[in-house]
A and B are shown apart, each in its own frame.
Chain A
Amino acid sequence: MLIWVVTEQVTTHFKKFTKTNFNMKKWLTVVSIIIFIQLLFFVFHNNVLLPSPLEVIVALIVQLRQGTILIDVAMSLERVAIGFLLAALIAIPLGILSGYNRRLNNIVKPFVELLRPIPPIAWIPIAILLFGIGDGASYFIVFLGAFFPIFTNAYFGAISMPVIYRNVAQSFEIKKSDFIAKILFYFSLPYIFTGLKIGIGMAWMSLIAAELIGAQSGLGYFIQLNRLLLRIDNVVVGMIFIGVIGLILTKSLTILERKIMPWITNQNA
């Protein structure tokens, strides 16, 4: 209640003072909760099990100064980028073509339905056997995490297209290749972006899980190492990085979505 009242007051005064529409309420809520937790730590003096927010901030500054965590971030980002791009490059055309062509769908769909429920983490032993401990296994796990949501959404986009568009294309004798590339693909694009946004989240989560078990670098490895060293403050720092990067990745896709689909933005406007 107190947090809510303080947040409301600060937001109102901030808007009046700066005369901007920046929505700082949600960020103020996060900051207020962190301050509240810190106050609890001051009152109860128990930091044996968990580090206080202040200790985490100190650990974060130390890590940023040393710069080693940034190398792990870069390694994780590289793995997620390669695995995710591979998944998108295969899942988007395959999903659209499966939605367009019944014969292809009859071949692809059973495999997808069979493999989709298996969590990417369950693939880790297979991935290590196939690719060894290293980047290959990570790419594979990220690929699996991202592939199914992207494929499923692209497929649903393609099968959701109203029959009227197919009729119009037939009447105007639009070539099949043009129909797929200029009509079916663009119609499915909002669905594809939904898949990409879910896929990037899944890819990121799968990667961290893979790095916790079978990697020698990356954010997952950073967390695992610090857990063994009982540096829980650094574990939380790693978790903060995972959350923030996940948020940035999803937001970047939302920005890209608006740029690529101006007709949706105009429609909403």
Chain B
Amino acid sequence: MLKLNNINFGYEQKKYLHSLILKDFNLNITEGELLSLVGPSGCGKTTLVNIISGYLKPISGNVVVNGKIVEFPGKDRIVINQEDDLFNWMTVMGNMKIISEDNLLIEKYLDLTNLSNYVNYYPSQLSGGMKKRLSLARALLADAKFIIMDEPFASLDHKTKDKLQEEVLKIIKESGKTVLLVTHNVDEAIFMSDKILFISGKPIEVMRELQIPFSYPRNINIKESKEFNVLKNDIKNEIRNY
């Protein structure tokens, strides 16, 4: 379980604290859950990701992972970023080997992410979708308890995005990982999540919590269903009022 307790955070400018981005912010993610945080661009979602992953230290409050306060980055919380975070000078295999030398596990996760035939490829030779799958394979290999996905599909085209969302969702659910998906895309959040928190900034505030009624496994075609679109439109109308 991942818990944020009364987090306060704001960036300093010339030694003076700028306005708070997070004020007494609390969050609970239960094990095996896929929770999405949906909010407008610039509301502080990435700051929140950086605090959870340990790249930024809050002014007060703490991050608790399975009952233990964490202050530094670690293998238990791996971030899959919007921008490329693969080591471009290493092949697919090299990117895996630097995390673990366990060949059986490497083979297993490359297989799971459909990258077994590309072990000698460099990231620059992979498509955008393949790069994201490799980032996911790395996170699985590290045996991360929590995978934090920060706008992971933002740089992809519509068709690749749909295909990858379906694939990633399948892999995540099969591996039983706990995931925090941070996005501004309502469509993506509904399709992938168990639960969505709609947030506004600044400071970040949870405006609404929504349980998604669709069962797993999910097929990308549900995006065409009436139920999905009604839900999407309701949410969009509501967000406009925040």
Binding site for B on A (CB under 8 A): 164-165, 167-168, 170-174, 178, 182-183, 186-187, 189, 261-263, 266-267
What CA separation (Å) do A191 and B122 show in the bound complex? 19
Q: If the complex has contacts A182-B98, A262-B122, A263-B124, are A171 and B89 also in contact, measured as CB distance less than 8 A?
A: no
Residue among B72, B73, B87, B123 making CB contact with A186, cutoff 8 Å: B87
For window 142-158 of chain B, which residues contact chain A by CB distance below 8 Å?
142
Using CB atoms, name the residue of chain B closest to A186. Answer: B89
Please determine whether A173 and B75 come into contact, CB atoms closer than 8 angstroms: yes
Please determine whether B75 and A172 come into contact, CB atoms closer than 8 angstroms: yes
Please determine whether A170 and B54 come into contact, CB atoms closer than 8 angstroms: yes
Please determine whether A165 and B55 come into contact, CB atoms closer than 8 angstroms: no
With a cutoff of 8 Å between Cβ atoms, the chain B residues found around residue A189 in the complex are 89
What CA separation (Å) do A254 and B86 show in the bound complex? 26
Residue among B78, B88, B90 making CB contact with A171, cutoff 8 Å: B78
With a cutoff of 8 Å between Cβ atoms, the chain A residues found around residue B78 in the complex are 171-172
Question: For the complex, is B79 an interface residue (Cβ under 8 Å from A)?
Answer: yes
Least distance between B184 CB and chain A CB atoms (Å): 20
Least distance between A162 CB and chain B CB atoms (Å): 8
For window 46-89 of chain B, which residues contact chain A by CB distance below 8 Å?
53-55, 72-75, 77-79, 81, 83, 85, 87-89
State the interface size on chain B (CB cutoff 8 A): 25
What CA separation (Å) do A266 and B125 show in the bound complex? 7
Residue among A172, A186, A267 making CB contact with B99, cutoff 8 Å: A172
Q: If the complex has contacts A168-B85, A172-B99, A186-B87, are A263 and B75 also in contact, measured as CB distance less than 8 A?
A: no
What CA separation (Å) do A34 and B81 show in the bound complex? 58
Residue among A167, A172, A174, A261 making CB contact with B89, cutoff 8 Å: A261
Q: If the complex has contacts A164-B81, A164-B85, A167-B79, are A173 and B74 also in contact, measured as CB distance less than 8 A?
A: yes
Please determine whether B124 and A167 come into contact, CB atoms closer than 8 angstroms: no
Binding site for A on B (CB under 8 A): 53-55, 72-75, 77-79, 81, 83, 85, 87-90, 98-99, 122-125, 138, 142
Using CB atoms, name the residue of chain A closest to B148. Answer: A171
Please determine whether B89 and A165 come into contact, CB atoms closer than 8 angstroms: no
Which of A164, A172, A174, A187 has the largest number of chain B CB atoms within 10 A? Answer: A172
What CA separation (Å) do A182 and B94 show in the bound complex? 10
Subset of 27 A-B contacts with CB under 8 Å: A164-B81, A164-B85, A165-B85, A167-B53, A167-B55, A167-B73, A168-B79, A168-B87, A171-B53, A171-B54, A172-B75, A172-B78, A173-B74, A173-B75, A174-B98, A174-B99, A178-B98, A182-B87, A183-B87, A186-B89, A187-B89, A261-B89, A263-B88, A263-B122, A266-B122, A266-B125, A267-B122
Using CB atoms, name the residue of chain A closest to B141. Answer: A172
What CA separation (Å) do A168 and B90 show in the bound complex? 14
What CA separation (Å) do A170 and B74 show in the bound complex? 7
Using CB atoms, name the residue of chain B closest to A267. Answer: B124
Please determine whether A171 and B98 come into contact, CB atoms closer than 8 angstroms: no
What CA separation (Å) do A178 and B87 show in the bound complex? 13
With a cutoff of 8 Å between Cβ atoms, the chain A residues found around residue B81 in the complex are 164
What CA separation (Å) do A164 and B49 show in the bound complex? 13
With a cutoff of 8 Å between Cβ atoms, the chain A residues found around residue B124 in the complex are 263, 266-267
Q: If the complex has contacts A170-B54, A263-B88, A263-B122, are A164 and B75 also in contact, measured as CB distance less than 8 A?
A: no
Please determine whether A171 and B87 come into contact, CB atoms closer than 8 angstroms: no
With a cutoff of 8 Å between Cβ atoms, the chain A residues found around residue B79 in the complex are 167-168, 171
What CA separation (Å) do A189 and B87 show in the bound complex? 13
What CA separation (Å) do A203 and B83 show in the bound complex? 40
Using CB atoms, name the residue of chain A closest to B87. Answer: A183
Q: If the complex has contacts A164-B81, A189-B89, are A171 and B125 also in contact, measured as CB distance less than 8 A?
A: no
What CA separation (Å) do A178 and B101 show in the bound complex? 14
Using CB atoms, name the residue of chain B closest to A268. Answer: B124
